[in-house]
Structure formats: C-alpha cells, structure tokens
A and B are shown apart, each in its own frame.
Chain A
Amino acid sequence: PHLVTFNGDFQTCKVAGAWPLIDNAYLAVSVTNEAVVPGSAATATTKITIIIKGGSDCAPERTYEAAVDSVPASFVDGSQWGGPLPPGSSALPSSALEHLVPVRIVDKEPGRHVEIHARHLGATLIVRQVGRYLTFAAKLPRDIAQQGAGREGLQLCVKGCPASERIDVATVLLGTGHGRHPSMPSSGRFYRSQTSESPSSLVKGMTRDAALALCREYNLTDYYLDSCMFDLMTTGDPSFSLAASRAQSDYLSLLPDAAYRLANRTWPLGASGSS
C-alpha cells in the first residue's frame, strides 16, 4: 500500500500482515494487508480496525471494523454514535441527536464509504472499499497525531514504514531494472492472479503508457500519479486508479492547505516529459 504519513512523507510499503497505523492514548488504527499478486511484494488492505479509546466523560469507547465487502455504517456494538447528550436534547429525534454527540459514523456510500467523526479529538477518519481492497484516511490535530511519537513501537502514520518494508516506486516506473527490487514486475510481466475469478488465470501488469493514460483520466498529480501507475503496472487492476483518485480527493478535502503541498506534476517519475 501507499502511505502518506503525518509528516507528509509519501512511501510505498510491503507490510504484509497486520500493522498499526495509529496507536496512542486516544486512538488506535490497525490494518491487515495481503499480497495482491502471488510472487509480488505488493500488498493491499483487506481489513481495518479502529478503536476510539474511552477514558473521559466525553469519550465513549467505540470499536469499528471493516473488511472487504463488509464496510458497515456502525460500530461493532451496533451503535452509530456515542457520548454524552447536551442538556435538554434527549427529546430530540435520533437524526438530530447524531449531530450533537462527540462520536458518530456517517454512511457516505452504503457498503463503500463511511466517515467517523470524533469531535472530542478533532478527528475525521475515512474508510472506503475501492475495487477489492480497502483504503483509509485520517485528519487529526497535530498534537493528537504526534502523541506518543517518542514512544517505542510502530505507528506507520507517525514513523513511516520500517526501511526493510519499503518499496522503491521509481524502480518500477523507471523500468530501468537497475536497482529494481527483484520481486517487482517490469511492465508487462505475468503473475498468477488471486483477485480474478479464475485463480489459474495470469495477471499481466499494464504497460507504462496504458497505466499513464488511465491514471491521467483521474487528474492525478505528483505522488498520487506515481502510486497509481505503480499499482496498474504491478497488478493490471484498473480499480487501483480509482483508489488513488479517492485518496487524492480525501487528501485535498481533509487538509486545508493540501493543494499547496502537492506538486502540480502531471508526468510520472522518470517520464521524459517530467522536466
């Protein structure tokens, strides 16, 4: 998966298995990643678990779990909101109550896209299913996000991926082969698919030009364009271009000054036009 850390680092990582993205006194988010193509180190997320930790009158403990084809609009206990009600509001209809409590889930697209708002943390968490995999995005106040940064332990959103888990996107996009990761496909190589209906079929990664054309359709720029091309050249699965597009739109919507942070680069790494 592609990771954008709280410090604004863009990384591509293997991180197969269960990994913590956020783990502090207020919030815990962990993901489970599976190989998208056997023989390839590229993985994608199939499960996301979010725990909003209790501990004060304002903060009810809430756990949310999403898996592929199961993106509920409720916490695991069936509730859709939590926290103390403002005085005098108990007689209000539940549709109005949801806006008043500290923690709530908003069903943006049934089964596809939910938003979790934890107002007492100033946090917005977004979970989506795009194609056969899940994506996650979070907006947090910096002092909450950095809480526990100095502690031991993994928090991919805070410290990024361990060096041993990082994948160099440029080696695939440059297609130079030099320094290319041995398990990375050059464009056009074949892999046995796990995601297609007939497991025995082979997956052909897209060529660079086909990947660029498809990624361009979503007006992707900068790292989001690179990550889109990497995914299409690795798996040949077009749904990853939509995943990159959704990730970019979440980035732009969650960060007030995001537009200034993204380079308006419309050529992928190493392409001749990327002057």
Chain B
Amino acid sequence: CKVDHCTRQFQQAAMMSGVRRGPSPAFCVILRQYSDCLRSTARSCRGHLAYHSTITLVQNWNGDFNCSYIGGGSAPAPLPIKDNGRFRNHDHHSTSNLHAAKMEDSYSNDKTVTSSSAERTTSLEPTARVYVRPEKPLNSLPITGTNVVMEASPACTYQGRPEVTHCSFYGD
C-alpha cells in the first residue's frame, strides 16, 4: 500500500508550488493528482486504515473546496453515502457509479452501520459527515499513519432548529 508515498508527493507538490489549501485551481490540480495516486494503489490498500481515512479526507476536501467546479481536472469519484436508505452521491459529477460502488464496498460495513443507526434514531437526525479543522497549515497535514485528525463524528450531531436558549443558577 503506497499511501505514504502518495502523501509525501502531495506535500512536496504543495510546498514547491507554495499553494495554500483552499478553493483554488492550483490546489485542486494537486488534490487531483493526490487522488489519482491513491486510486492507483487502492487494490493493495484494502483494509488499510490510514488509506481509507486519507481517501475520505481527499474526497471531503474536494467537496469543501468545490474542486469539481473550479477545475483542476475531473473530480475524483465521490463516495456515495447511504442516507436514510437511499444512496446519495456527494458530488453530482461522479465519473462512474460502478467505480464508486466498488469504493463503497471497501467502506460499506462501517458506513452502513452508522447510517442504519441513523435510521433508528428518533427526531434527532444524526449526520454522516466528516470534515477537518480548516486552520491547519498545509505542511503539517495530519494524514500520515495514526496521525489522522477527524473533526466530527459522522453520526449523532443535533439537527434540530438552531435557536438556542440559556439557563443559569448561581450565587445565593
């Protein structure tokens, strides 16, 4: 599994071009190369934790920074996320459902469990969304080995009305 090799390539390319992470064509191009590299080693990375986490991360960045629309080559195939019994594509421009389905295979056990638990929750709808803390500088990408940082659990986030209220009890 060459996930570390792909990550090093990505970091070097980012550092040499001086591009910052964000919705820019230059970053999308580098992200696209990174995604291609990861895909090329997919077969040997079946079940490799860091690989699967990295793939998810790259796809989320692709979505966060709209690389499918900004350009930088065609977008990496999105991972369909099962939501309430329906497959919902993260990105409407998926290149091939079959390819995505294959990728789906490599995750399906985890995601399905989460989603099905979503199906069982009451009115509080969890989301199946993973995203990263944006302020991390590019050169300290938390992608290698066990050093993966994910920001929010894909399930169990309050989805009701955002209006909040406060109660406090203090003093004598």
Known A-B contacts A58-B117, A243-B171; the reply to A86 vs B150 at CB < 8 A is: yes
Whether A166 is near chain B, meaning CB under 8 Å from some CB there, is no
Give Cα A102 to B114, complex, Å: 13
Interface: A251 (CB within 8 A): yes
Contact of B171 among A31, A140, A240 (CB under 8 A): A240
Could you mark each residue 15-48 of chain B with 1 if its beta carbon is under 8 Å from any beta carbon of chain A, else 0?
Answer: 0000000000000000000000000000000000
Given A121-B124, A122-B160, A135:B155 Cβ within 8 A: no
Query: What is the total number of residues of chain B having a CB less than 8 Å from a CB of chain A?
Result: 41
Q: Are A251 and B168 in contact (CB under 8 A)?
A: yes
B-contact 0/1 string along A128-152, CB 8 Å cutoff: 0010010111111111110000000
- Tell me if B157 and A144 are in contact (CB < 8 A): no
Closest chain A residue to B133 by CB distance?
Answer: A99
At the interface, yes or no: A36 with Cβ under 8 Å from chain B? yes
Closest to A100 in B: B153
A256 to chain B, nearest CB (A): 7
- Asked if A89 is an interface residue, CB under 8 A from chain B, the answer is yes
Contact (Cβ within 8 A) A56 B124: yes
Question: A6-B166, A141-B161 given as contacts; is B156 within 8 A of A228 (CB)?
Answer: no
B121 CB-CB contact with A under 8 Å: yes
Interface residues of A in 81-102 (CB under 8 A from B): 83-89, 91-93, 96, 99-102
Known pairs A139-B166, A237-B172; list 14 more (Cβ under 8 Å).
A4-B168, A8-B165, A21-B167, A57-B155, A58-B156, A84-B117, A86-B153, A87-B114, A93-B146, A102-B153, A123-B158, A137-B166, A137-B168, A247-B170
24 A-B Cβ contacts within 8 A? A1-B172, A2-B169, A4-B168, A45-B170, A57-B117, A87-B107, A87-B113, A89-B150, A102-B156, A120-B124, A120-B126, A120-B157, A130-B170, A136-B170, A138-B166, A141-B163, A142-B165, A143-B163, A227-B171, A235-B172, A240-B171, A243-B171, A251-B166, A255-B166
Which residues from chain B sit less than 8 Å from chain A, CB to CB?
49, 52-53, 56, 107, 110-111, 113-114, 117, 120-122, 124, 126, 130, 146, 148-158, 160-172
